[in-house]
Amino acid sequence: MSGVVHSHSVFSNSESQVSATTPVKPGPFGAYHLRELINSGGMADIWLATDKDDNTFALRRLHDNLRFNFLARKRFLRGCEILSKIHNHDCVIGYYEHGKIDGALYLLMEYVEGANLKELYASHDPVLLENVGNIIIDMAVGLEHVHESGYMHLDFKPENVLVTRNASVRVADFDLSQPIPKKPAKMAKNPGTPTYMAPEQLKREEVDQRADIFAFGVAAYELLTNYKPFPGETPAEILARQVDRSGFVSPREHNPDLPLSLEKLILRCIAQDPDKRYPLMTVVVHELKTALYV
């Protein structure tokens, strides 16, 4: 599998491009050599790294000032462990190992040149414009694999979908992921990105994998129309728009070229009531391929 990491790619929601700690300098790091800082966020740095045979990797390293932060360590390790179980799929970022070197937690992933969907979208990149249908299908296939592996992502958004230069897709960043419960369950914490969170998440109610299906629908709507379905500056504003849909604009009003079947699929994904959404990503993938004549 070819891996994916780019300059602003594999970060959890809590991370930004401003480092929260004194930056580590290029140089040896255990069996690896840190070559170039790809990005620095609130929780971790991502480095372009090589081994003694000059193989190239992306190495994600938890900030030193978070070494004794129990929650940060727990999220970092959970993301590593989940990725280690589910990475064997073309639409999920590749995994090599994770562990601790000189007291610093790290995750070694595959490296490939590319960008995340948020960047491609913002720059109107031809890779996205020319391949949007296939990219959306592969996003769905990646999320389907995550669910079939027994996990819900819980931070699914364009920023966590990486795209190579030949338009291959990788779903990334599993720091917030949780096992899919047997029946909808309340989460102890409620992190995530409000724009892509389902109403039940924003209300702190019970959730299951259908929260990811909602997030997928929001991302697909945005990529196909250049608008967010439920715009808002705060979680409360976003939730209000999700609940009161009097001002809601359907995808085909923004983009009349969309097939009606594709619009119906997106609308079902972003239904306010989880019971009115698709129950499984497998069904979404099947109907998506039909709607896009694949």
CATH number for the domain that contains residue 90: 3.30.200.20
Residues 175 and 103 in one domain: no
Pairing of strands 44-50, 32-40: antiparallel
17: Cα within 13 Å, side-chain hemisphere: 7
As for how many domains the chain has, the answer is 2
Residues 144 and 106 in one domain: no
Query: What strand order describes the sheet that includes 95-101?
Result: 27-29, 32-40, 44-50, 56-62, 104-110, 95-101
CATH number at residue 146: 1.10.510.10
Pair 49, 58: CB distance under 8 Å? yes
Domain assignment present for 19: no
Residue at 16 is within a domain: no
C-alpha–C-alpha distance, residues 288 and 284, integer Å = 6
- Give phi and psi for 157, each to the nearest 5: -165, 165
φ, ψ for residue 128, nearest 5 deg = -75, -45
Domain range holding 195? 114-291
| Domain endpoint, select from 75, 91, 110 | 110
Task: Spell out the per-residue pLDDT of the chain, length 294, in tens.
Answer: 444 444 333 433 334 333 444 568 899 999 999 999 987 777 899 899 999 999 999 999 999 999 999 999 999 999 999 999 999 999 999 999 999 999 999 999 989 788 889 999 999 899 998 999 999 999 999 999 999 999 999 999 999 999 998 999 999 999 999 999 999 999 877 778 899 999 999 999 999 999 999 999 999 999 999 999 999 999 999 999 999 998 999 999 999 999 999 999 999 999 999 999 999 999 999 999 999 886
Residue type, 280: L
Residue 18 located in a structural domain? no
Let me know if residue 286 belongs to a domain. Answer: yes
Q: Scanning the structure block, which residue is given the tokens 């391929």?
A: 289
Last residue of a domain, one of 49, 79, 110: 110
